[in-house]
Amino acid sequence: NAGVMQNPRHLVRRRGQEARLRCSPMKGHSHVYWYRQLPEEGLKFMVYLQKENIIDESGMPKERFSAEFPKEGPSILRIQQVVRGDSAAYFCASSPLALTPYIFNEQFFGPGTRLTVL
């Protein structure tokens, strides 16, 4: 019963390159969340996806960042033309399908991808 998996665990990119971060949710989970943690900061929400749908992207920068959760395969967070300020730990979390409205479904976090932009 594997937990949330993220790869790569560490990613080094030069300025201007693209970064692709992958997240495989826990088995049976249909909701995926991406959070970013800058140094000395808490985690900040970026985007919430269900299969083939973006539900809330209010925390996602308007440019260069995109996310998808296709019908098959992992969720992908894509950062184009990376800059030094993108260096951070990116965490993915997943939760099961909500059975009851207004009841919070626990989010299970992956180990994170540490992105370093040189």
Partner 1 sequence: DQQVKQNSPSLSVQEGRISILNCDYTNSMFDYFLWYKKYPAEGPTFLISISSIKDKNEDGRFTVFLNKSAKHLSLHIVPSQPGDSAVYFCAATPTQGGSEKLVFGKGTKLTVNP
Q: How far is the CB of 56 from partner 1 (least distance, A)?
A: 4
Q: How far is the CB of 27 from partner 1 (least distance, A)?
A: 17
Q: Is 43 in the site for partner 1 (CB under 8 A)?
A: yes
Strand 43-50 vs strand 88-96: parallel, antiparallel, or unpaired? unpaired
Q: Contacting partner 1 (CB under 8 A), which of 79, 107, 115, 117?
A: 107
Q: Which residues contact 31 (CB under 8 A, 6 or more apart)?
A: 25, 48, 49, 50, 94, 95, 96, 97, 98, 105
Strand partners of residue 23? 6, 75
d(CA 118, CA 116): 6
Number of chain residues interacting with partner 1 (CB under 8 A): 30
Q: Is 29 in the site for partner 1 (CB under 8 A)?
A: no
Buried b (16+ CB within 10 A) or exposed e, 64-80: ebebbbeeeebbbbebe
Widest Cα–Cα separation across the chain: 45
Stretch that binds partner 1, among 12-20, 43-51, 60-68, 76-84 (CB under 8 A): 43-51
Q: Is 60 in the site for partner 1 (CB under 8 A)?
A: no
Q: Contacting partner 1 (CB under 8 A), which of 8, 18, 41, 81?
A: 41
Residues at the contact surface with partner 1, assessed by CB under 8 A = 4, 31, 33, 35, 40-45, 48, 55-56, 58-59, 91, 93, 95, 98, 102-112
